[in-house]
Amino acid sequence: MTQEKLPRIFAADQQSRWSSDHPDIWSRRGADLDAVPALSILTTLWDQPRWLEAYHLYDTAGSELFEDICELPEYYLTRTENSILEACAGEIIKAAPVECIVELGAGYSKKTVHLLTEQLRQRGKCIFAPIDVSIAGLLASRAAAQKDFPQIEFHGIQALYEDGFAAIDRQLPTLFVFLGSTVGNFNHTDFPRFFRALSAAMGPNDYLLLGADRIKPTKLLEDAYNDSRGITAAFILNVFRNINRLLGSNFDSSKLRYHSWFNPEWQQIEMYAVAAAAHEIRFPNHNAAFQWRRDEKILVEISRKFDPDRLQEQLGFFGLAPAGHFTDVNQWFSVLLFRKQV
Ligand code: AVI
């Protein structure tokens, strides 16, 4: 790794912690981003009910399948959020007088482009810093940003979200952007941990822009997660190929089926893999095995749906004050702006 001078987006005390292997992309020294999967997978599979942390879904094949999901007619989330940002980016950027946009996720979707375009139009300059564990995603963001916006100062941060945003200088007015309703994939433990850490990392002139999918008629929600082409099923079941690759296990895709539903009490879509036939799942590298009984389910992912007013009130307890609410004509999706309270 080469040692360059850290850009000013990093807090002063971060100097010795980050280094750069690729121009304009920074990684935490010594961070082993691959160290956790085995422990995470084994501990949650031994829970009752069995479940998985959602990040295991995003290997190369999973990331490609998710791109396909975003194009599905039933999956209204991406295009609805995009239409809100296209219509409201000017107002959002005006309401958030910042110098830097930090995107949680490799970013550079059409949605981010609306914000970058407005930031440049209104302020003439822009620092853009996506945070992601995927180096491939960050390289793609960098290439796209440099091609379309040569005036932008780009700094990719290869890290877990919490490590990435904790490193940003609190004195630099920053808009943190967390789109796509990825917040809906957090369980009830992840959610408070994430917002506590984010709020603690934010400085007095910082803002958060959060995309949140809303509660709506069950049929619309269930169709979005059970599409007629079976892409969502392939995305969810692909996690077992990834686990076989990571852990040397023997999940058999011919013995799995997909099941999803909207749980009205928990206000979340639940996405399961169900054993169509019993089989023993072995983890030879870890000297462990379990019997997956026929019809037993593994909860692979949840996607929570929100009441935006309640979400705004809830984030108030984390020191984030509502500063704008942008939605679509159907009120299917909300893009919420918050200001850090000091
Ligand atoms: C990434 N995340 C916001 C998606 C969602 O809608 O919860 C993941 C997804 N899973 C199945 N379809 C989409």
Question: What pLDDT digit, counting tens, does each position of 202-252 carry?
Answer: 999 999 999 999 999 999 999 999 999 999 999 999 999 999 999 999 999
| pLDDT score of 168 | 97
| pLDDT score of 107 | 72
Return the best residue to mutate from 55, 185, 271 for the ligand 1 pocket (most ligand atoms within 8 A of CB): 185
CA distance 225 to 222: 5
Tell whether ligand 1 has an atom less than 6 A from the beta carbon of residue 81.
Answer: no
| pLDDT score of 33 | 66
Q: Whose CA is nearest to atom 4 of ligand 1?
A: 182
Tell whether ligand 1 has an atom less than 6 A from the beta carbon of residue 184.
Answer: yes
Q: Whose CA is nearest to atom 6 of ligand 1?
A: 303
| pLDDT score of 9 | 96
- When computed from its CA atoms, the radius of gyration of the chain, rounded to whole angstroms, is 20
| pLDDT score of 3 | 54
| pLDDT score of 80 | 98
| pLDDT score of 290 | 97
Closest CA to 186 of 306, 37, 313: 306
268-275 and 279-283 strand pairing: unpaired
- Report the separation in Å between the CA atom of 9 and the middle of ligand 1, taken as the mean of its atom positions: 30
297-304 and 320-327 strand pairing: unpaired
251, with CB counted inside 10 A (0-12, 13-18, 19+), is buried
pLDDT along the chain (342 residues), means of 10: 77 91 90 77 97 93 94 98 98 98 86 96 97 91 93 95 95 98 97 98 98 98 98 98 96 97 98 96 96 98 98 98 98 98 92
Tell whether ligand 1 has an atom less than 6 A from the beta carbon of residue 226.
Answer: no
Q: Whose CA is nearest to atom 3 of ligand 1?
A: 182
Question: What pLDDT digit, counting tens, does each position of 151-174 carry?
Answer: 999 999 999 999 999 999 999 999
Tell whether ligand 1 has an atom less than 6 A from the beta carbon of residue 225.
Answer: yes
Tell whether ligand 1 has an atom less than 6 A from the beta carbon of residue 62.
Answer: no
* Half-sphere exposure (Cβ direction) of 155: Cα atoms closer than 13 Å: 25
Tell whether ligand 1 has an atom less than 6 A from the beta carbon of residue 318.
Answer: no
Closest CA to 179 of 138, 208, 215, 145: 208
pTM of the model: 0.96
What is 211-249 written as a DSSP string? EEEBP--HHHHHHHTS-TT-HHHHHHHHHHHHHHHHH--
